[in-house]
Amino acid sequence: MLKRLQNLCVQNGPALVGLPVALTPFPLRKRMLEQLLNAQFRQALAEGDLDFLQDHFLGIDILDMGLRWVTTLQQGQLSVMARDDADVWFRGNANDLLLVAARKADPDMLFFQRRLAIEGDTELGLEVKNLMDAMEFDAMPRPLLNAMQQLATWVEAARTMPSTDGSSGRKSTPLI
């Protein structure tokens, strides 16, 4: 019973979390995202590792949450904006992106399984991917790191457990 509940939470959680996110005014989401991103990438910003984003726009689209934004570098800080165009878009579902962030899934594997999409300027996308691969977990605030890793472990366990119909709990949903 508990495993079934876990599976349901993993499958439906992003849509449920996405509802209040969708109702949150963009200026508030913008401020929260900017604070989170600038805190998380403080060291990379100080070392100039994100300078390649100056005058370029990176789009993030979390499909099953309806959460979408574009990030660029302005005056040495990451800036978030609502716009429809970006130089490169990273698109995927929340659980897959969480597994990538927690390093429990290989982004290349998800890309080839069509669970992660990278569209647009492939050179810029590769720079972002390489930066993310080089990021150290130590730079992340400990409570955020622990929460992310525990949630990713939970998602991973739910995806590999057999469903009630005898098939694997893993589902592959095409992005387009």
Note whether residue 167 is domain-resident. Answer: no
Q: What mean pLDDT value characterizes the chain?
A: 85
Q: Is residue 40 part of a domain?
A: yes
Prediction pTM value: 0.80
Whether residue 10 lies inside any domain: the answer is: no
In the block, tokens 């930066």 appear at: 131
Band the pLDDT of 163: cuts 50, 70, 90. Answer: low
Instruction: Examine residue 170 and state whether it is found in any structural domain, yes or no.
Output: no
Q: Residue 4 falls within a domain, yes or no?
A: no
Q: What confidence tens digit (pLDDT) does each residue in 39-50 have?
A: 888 888 999 999
Check: CB of residue 104 under 8 Å from CB of residue 96. Answer: no
- Total structural domains within the chain: 1
Q: What is the pLDDT of residues 99-127, one digit of tens each?
A: 988 889 888 899 899 999 999 998 999 99
Put residue 85 in one of left, alpha, beta given phi > 0 → left and psi -120 to 50 → alpha: beta
**Residue 88 resides in a domain:** yes
Q: Does a structural domain hold residue 1? A: no
The domain of 130 spans 25-155
Report the CATH number at residue 140.
3.30.1050.10
Residue 137 within a domain: yes
- Between 153 and 69, name the one with better pLDDT: 69
pLDDT of residue 162: 61
Q: Output b/e per residue, 29-46; b: 16+ Cβ within 10 A.
A: bbeebbeebeebbeebbe
